[in-house]
A and B are shown apart, each in its own frame.
Chain A
Amino acid sequence: MREVPLTEASVGDKIRLEIEGREYIGILMPHHRFSGDDTITLKLENGYNIGLKVAEGTMVKLLESDVDRVESTLDIPEVEEDKPNISIIGTGGTIASYVEYGTGAVHPAETAAEILYSNPEIAVRCDPKVDIILSKLSEDITPKDWVTIADAVLEELNSGAEGVVVAHGTDTMGYTAAALSFLLDQVPKPVVLVGSQRSSDRPSSDAHLNLLAAIDVAKSNTRGVYVVMHETIDDKRCAVHHGTKVRKMHTSRRDAFKSINREQAGWVEPLDNGLDLKGLPEKEEKVATRMGSIEPEVALVYVTPALTEEDLQYAGKKKGIVLVGTGLGHMRSELISTLKEIITDGTPVVMTSQCLYGTVNCYVYTNGRKLLEAGVIPCGDMLPETALVKLMWALTIIGQDVKETMITDAAGEISNRRME
């Protein structure tokens, strides 16, 4: 048994040390982000972690090195031949992750095997092809990643997949759904984004139900870009949302995703084999294609009573501005002249509403009419985030007027009728 300075012991080593006459035996754990600098975390034999303050130069006995490392001998369930081919594209997030019980670290799944390992039921429903193209939490996703994901989806659609599931972190899943909706010009089959609000290493995770529901939609006779998540906080039904009309409306609930200004596309009850996708367009025998790209230099400006001329001028340095206006799509009248200068200089400015529900209408009040005269493009009932993505996309489409693109429905982002 070697005695070494604590600093030489590594995470995963079983050590013995003595502090103030007391002996502690346990596995050295990774330093907790919120632990004191002078504190180590030890996993005791009873399973508990404790934080121990250690003096500099503390010596420990090395009992065993690198214990409890999970061996990656993963048995993959066999897939029956006649199951439909579904491609699962991993981008990161908690939907496909597993916990290493030794250290408690949560690892994102990095291989097909790991996704199947945590969700073996997938193999019963389809013949899955898993491709991990990114490993990012969704807050780290950039506009450039949208294009990468879109291309990966295209490749799958055009190489035999009957549907594609995109596993994605939930924070920005709505943005990616909108981006795929615009970038994919022809989408002859279902493309389904799915995430989870409770990470998949927890027994109560929603990842499992959501993933099965997403696969059920990907197998269905529909086409288009959808988001599939819990409809309520029950582990029963998942809602199917149109990719351009969905928004994360709660920080933590399972049913955070809601369809706004359009009825949700349908629902799935994966554990009870229930599914209702009535009225959705059917599959087509076509090649999937992409149109346009993404111009990342677009600002989204939340209009508040405190908004200043300088704020607008700063945003004006970008290639486009999405205003999230008050009420029907308004902003302080005295700022309109500044806005007009920006527009005249060639920067398109579009208007959405921070009410989220309902449509922008610039004819009702003088303020709105002045904005229209200044050249602001009203976006109807488009969600602000969808308008941001759409403007980024519209700016890359050569030979087409940005205003025309923005006010014409491309992927279900503008509805003419609203029921709530």
Chain B
Amino acid sequence: MMDYKELGLRVGLEVHQQLDTGKLFCKCPSELVEEEGNETIRSLRATASEMGELDPAAIIEAAKGHRFIYQQPESSSCLVELDEEPPGEPNEDAMDIALKMSLLMGSKVMDEIHFMRKIVVDGSNTTGFQRTALVAMDGTLEVDGKDIGIPTICLEEDAARNIDDHGDNKIYRLDRLGIPLVEIVTSPVIESPEEAREVAQTIGGLLRATRKVKRGLGTIREDVNISITKGSRVEIKGVQDLKMLPEYVKIEVERQVNLLDIREALISKSAAVDPDMVDVQQIFKGTESTIIKNNIKKDKGVYALKLKGFASLLRGEEGEPLLGPELAAYAKTTGIGGIFHSDELPAYGITEEEVQDISEFLSLDKNDAFILISEEEDKASAAADRVIERAEMALEGVPGETRNAQLDGSTVYLRPISGGARMYPETDVPPFRVDDELLKSTEEDLPETPKERLKRYAEEYDLNLQQSRQLFRKGYDLIFEEIVDNTGNPSVVANTFLQTFPELEKEGYDMNNIEDDKLKSLFKKFSDGGFAKEGILDIIKELVEGKSVEEAIDSAGIESVDALYVREAITKILDEREGFVNERGLSALGPIMGVVMKELRGKADGEMVSNILKEELAKRVSDG
């Protein structure tokens, strides 16, 4: 267990929430669609002034290499997303939500909101920039009695959806481009992995309170800034699953601690990086490694780098972050497939003998490591430069980086951490004036805060604070309220969300697969006496599989309350007449039907009674 206080952990969040309004600058619906639509090919170039240097060859290469393909589904994108028409005025509903969020956090709303162009040339925006505006500053959020600063709240457009990387051509779909996002940034005052989740959940709850935010996977995304005292600030981009948030923090802290340990080990071994790339192709003349054999056939070479004192630090203990993958990630940014390092060899068909030969050729001793790159010389050399750069950083400690979140809580190097973003005014969108009148009417229309809601749940629904808080944190508060306001049974509904759901999730069911409408009709059936509460778990299992409520009840084999009651009554009658039944067998049906109907007439459907009686009778006769 890490002592996060001792390590000086500091975490700050940037929460991006998609809004459930139209798109920010056009009249398209904010819907992700299956439709692919026509394709448009574009290239983006960083203008010379941006790059700060003039390298015609590099710019031409960039223009050649980076073409982007945009799918333009007509149902969810228009000329604005294609960058073929100037943006319209910002969506009023989206602006309203951003203002409400600002007021809920006590932020100072700007007198005029100015949209900016934030340069992004990875193709995710057709324009080459993201439109973003600072709406408010200096808010605070109370989480478990601690004030979390909210320095900025922004309104911005979401990027296009990356569908595929097709060689040099990235494919994006324009359905997501332009969906409004509210971005809420916290101060870096979070001190533990769990606190990060608490803060994120509280922000999520506030956002949902506006009732105009999208729900489901991918609709809320977090960038997480993490640092420890002796490490560096690392920004993890694109965390989609809130539950995983503490995991990302833990793993990053471990990674940084590990890198610091590696640094110490390197220094104690007087490690050094030899900047010269050496051609070692001759060693692989008769190699059995298919990868290298094929590469040589394609006129690629084999090159080695000497890392003095790095042995056994490239591949650490099982499960620990390693230096090898970090070096490889830097190398891959130059477009090569990967590298080999001596800690993982012999492997990939590279033999012990070849490893020995390289060691000899480079005059390595047992403390030294090497890197192999099999590529064309100029590509290998570019990759080697990055490996050297990263290896040298290992001697310094933890490099400041932007890393991509992977689903399992780990991260992959993306780029060095950027300084301030390049921003210049979006001249196509006029400033949005927030006068006192607008501020006042927004204030009057503020949604109930989570705090107020918790209080109301206790009063109206008789839930305890613990239950209410959990509903809220897990994001079930709104749907809970909607169901209970329609069909009652607050404690059953709350238990379904707080006990049944987690139980099923543990079994591997994905509860995101159930639409709200199905839950509503499930509880409607329940309150109409369609089934007993014990049946809910089984029915929900079927709902997750995509069945309708009726189908689910059917295939879960759940009977209505009526049927249970009838079966109970019939069982009792048959028990009392056991002898008669045994004697008469199936022909006991007629006489017993009379008795049963006498008891149940008017209380249950005749046909159902008859069916159940036949069933029960048959069971006894065949058992006998």
Seen from chain A, the residues whose Cβ lies within 8 Å of a Cβ on chain B are 22, 29, 32, 34-36, 39, 41, 44-53, 70, 75-77, 98-99, 101, 104, 106, 117-121, 123-124, 198, 200-204, 208-209, 233-236, 251-254, 271
Beyond A70-B49, A104-B425, A252-B84, is A47–B114 a contact (Cβ under 8 Å)?
no
- B127 and A202 contact, CB distance less than 8 A: yes
- B116 and A271 contact, CB distance less than 8 A: no
Q: How far is the CA of A162 from the CA of B423 in the complex (A)?
A: 40
Residue from B41, B49, B112 in contact with A101 in the complex, judged by beta carbons closer than 8 Å: B49
Beyond A34-B431, A77-B56, A198-B83, is A48–B138 a contact (Cβ under 8 Å)?
no
**Could you show 18 A-B contacts with beta carbons less than 8 Å apart?**
A35-B431, A36-B111, A48-B154, A51-B110, A51-B112, A77-B54, A98-B47, A99-B47, A117-B48, A117-B54, A120-B59, A203-B46, A204-B127, A204-B128, A209-B43, A234-B41, A235-B42, A271-B43
Which residues of chain A are near B55, meaning CB under 8 Å?
Answer: 120
Which residues of chain B are near A70, meaning CB under 8 Å?
Answer: 49
Q: Return the CB mask of B49-78 against A: 1 if under 8 Å, else 0.
A: 110011111011001100100000000000
Q: CB of B596 within 8 A of chain A?
A: no
Which residues of chain A are near B121, meaning CB under 8 Å?
Answer: 203
Residue of B nearest to A106 (CB): B427
Which residues of chain A are near B420, meaning CB under 8 Å?
Answer: 45-47
Beyond A36-B433, A202-B128, is A271–B64 a contact (Cβ under 8 Å)?
yes
- A49 and B114 contact, CB distance less than 8 A: yes
A-B pairs with lowest CB-CB distance, top 10: A51-B112, A203-B128, A47-B423, A104-B424, A48-B134, A34-B430, A104-B425, A53-B111, A49-B114, A120-B56
Q: How far is the CA of A271 from the CA of B53 in the complex (A)?
A: 22
Which residues of chain B are near A52, meaning CB under 8 Å?
Answer: 110-112
Residue from B49, B59, B117 in contact with A98 in the complex, judged by beta carbons closer than 8 Å: B49
- A101 and B111 contact, CB distance less than 8 A: no
Which residues of chain A are near B45, meaning CB under 8 Å?
Answer: 203, 208
Q: How far is the CA of A76 from the CA of B54 in the complex (A)?
A: 8
Q: CB of B379 within 8 A of chain A?
A: no
Residue from B41, B56, B422 in contact with A236 in the complex, judged by beta carbons closer than 8 Å: B41
Residue of B nearest to A30 (CB): B425
B603 to chain A, nearest CB (A): 70
Q: Name 15 extra pairs, CB < 8 A, besides A32-B114, A104-B424.
A: A32-B431, A39-B112, A47-B116, A49-B134, A51-B112, A70-B49, A75-B54, A98-B48, A101-B424, A118-B49, A120-B54, A204-B44, A208-B45, A209-B43, A234-B42
Q: How far is the CA of A209 from the CA of B182 in the complex (A)?
A: 35
Which residues of chain A are near B82, meaning CB under 8 Å?
Answer: 233
Of B47, B56, B431, chain A has the most CB atoms within 10 Å of the CB of B47
Q: CB of B421 within 8 A of chain A?
A: yes
Residue from B41, B114, B132, B423 in contact with A41 in the complex, judged by beta carbons closer than 8 Å: B114
Which residues of chain A are near B86, meaning CB under 8 Å?
Answer: 252
Q: How far is the CA of A234 from the CA of B169 in the complex (A)?
A: 14
Q: How far is the CA of A52 from the CA of B108 in the complex (A)?
A: 11
Q: How far is the CA of A32 from the CA of B430 in the complex (A)?
A: 8
A255 to chain B, nearest CB (A): 9
Q: How far is the CA of A41 from the CA of B423 in the complex (A)?
A: 14
| Interface residue total, chain B, C-beta cutoff 8 A | 58
Q: Return the CB mask of B541-561 against A: 1 if under 8 Å, else 0.
A: 000000000000000000000
B205 to chain A, nearest CB (A): 26
Beyond A203-B127, A233-B82, is A22–B108 a contact (Cβ under 8 Å)?
yes
Which residues of chain B are near A49, meaning CB under 8 Å?
Answer: 114, 116, 134, 423, 425
Which residues of chain B are near A48, meaning CB under 8 Å?
Answer: 114, 116, 132-134, 152, 154, 423
Q: CB of B464 within 8 A of chain A?
A: no
Q: CB of B374 within 8 A of chain A?
A: no
Which residues of chain A are near B421, meaning CB under 8 Å?
Answer: 47
- B83 and A204 contact, CB distance less than 8 A: yes
- B431 and A51 contact, CB distance less than 8 A: yes
Q: CB of B453 within 8 A of chain A?
A: no
- A51 and B113 contact, CB distance less than 8 A: yes
Of residues 419 through 463 on chain B, the ones whose CB sits less than 8 Å from some CB of chain A are: 420-425, 427, 430-431, 433
Which residues of chain B are near A46, meaning CB under 8 Å?
Answer: 134, 152, 420
Q: How far is the CA of A104 from the CA of B86 in the complex (A)?
A: 18
Q: How far is the CA of A106 from the CA of B64 in the complex (A)?
A: 27
Which residues of chain A are near B110, meaning CB under 8 Å?
Answer: 50-52
Residue from B40, B49, B63, B118 in contact with A99 in the complex, judged by beta carbons closer than 8 Å: B49
Q: How far is the CA of A253 from the CA of B359 in the complex (A)?
A: 61
- A36 and B54 contact, CB distance less than 8 A: no
Which residues of chain B are near A29, meaning CB under 8 Å?
Answer: 425
Q: How far is the CA of A191 from the CA of B515 in the complex (A)?
A: 63
A4 to chain B, nearest CB (A): 22
Q: CB of B85 within 8 A of chain A?
A: yes
Q: How far is the CA of A34 from the CA of B133 in the complex (A)?
A: 16
B342 to chain A, nearest CB (A): 42
Q: CB of B79 within 8 A of chain A?
A: yes
Of residues 458 through 495 on chain B, the ones whose CB sits less than 8 Å from some CB of chain A are: none
- A208 and B63 contact, CB distance less than 8 A: yes
B155 to chain A, nearest CB (A): 11
B168 to chain A, nearest CB (A): 13
- A204 and B56 contact, CB distance less than 8 A: no
Of B111, B117, B133, B421, chain A has the most CB atoms within 10 Å of the CB of B111
Q: How far is the CA of A119 from the CA of B302 in the complex (A)?
A: 37
Q: Return the CB mask of B87-129 against A: 1 if under 8 Å, else 0.
A: 0000000000000000000001011111011110100001111
Residue from A99, A104, A204, A252 in contact with B42 in the complex, judged by beta carbons closer than 8 Å: A204
Q: How far is the CA of A402 from the CA of B536 in the complex (A)?
A: 91
Residue of A nearest to B430 (CB): A34
Q: How far is the CA of A34 from the CA of B116 in the complex (A)?
A: 15
Residue of A nearest to B127 (CB): A204
Which residues of chain A are near B129, meaning CB under 8 Å?
Answer: 202-203
A394 to chain B, nearest CB (A): 37
Which residues of chain B are near A121, meaning CB under 8 Å?
Answer: 56, 59-60, 63
Q: How far is the CA of A47 from the CA of B40 in the complex (A)?
A: 31
Which residues of chain B are near A209, meaning CB under 8 Å?
Answer: 43
A252 to chain B, nearest CB (A): 5
Residue of A nearest to B72 (CB): A233
Q: How far is the CA of A51 from the CA of B121 in the complex (A)?
A: 27
Which residues of chain A are near B54, meaning CB under 8 Å?
Answer: 75-77, 117, 120
Q: How far is the CA of A52 from the CA of B434 in the complex (A)?
A: 10
Which residues of chain B are near A41, meaning CB under 8 Å?
Answer: 112, 114, 431
Residue of A nearest to B68 (CB): A235
- A203 and B48 contact, CB distance less than 8 A: no
Residue from B41, B48, B118, B430 in contact with A235 in the complex, judged by beta carbons closer than 8 Å: B41
Which residues of chain A are near B431, meaning CB under 8 Å?
Answer: 32, 34-35, 39, 41, 51
Of A117, A200, A202, chain B has the most CB atoms within 10 Å of the CB of A202
Residue of A nearest to B111 (CB): A53
Q: How far is the CA of A252 from the CA of B79 in the complex (A)?
A: 9
Residue from A44, A45, A203, A252 in contact with B85 in the complex, judged by beta carbons closer than 8 Å: A252
- A124 and B60 contact, CB distance less than 8 A: yes
- A254 and B84 contact, CB distance less than 8 A: yes
Which residues of chain B are near A22, meaning CB under 8 Å?
Answer: 108, 138
Residue from A32, A44, A99, A234 in contact with B134 in the complex, judged by beta carbons closer than 8 Å: A44
B306 to chain A, nearest CB (A): 37
- B63 and A271 contact, CB distance less than 8 A: yes
B452 to chain A, nearest CB (A): 27
- B49 and A50 contact, CB distance less than 8 A: no
Which residues of chain A are near B134, meaning CB under 8 Å?
Answer: 44, 46, 48-50
- B79 and A253 contact, CB distance less than 8 A: yes
Q: How far is the CA of A142 from the CA of B83 in the complex (A)?
A: 30
Which residues of chain B are near A118, meaning CB under 8 Å?
Answer: 47-49
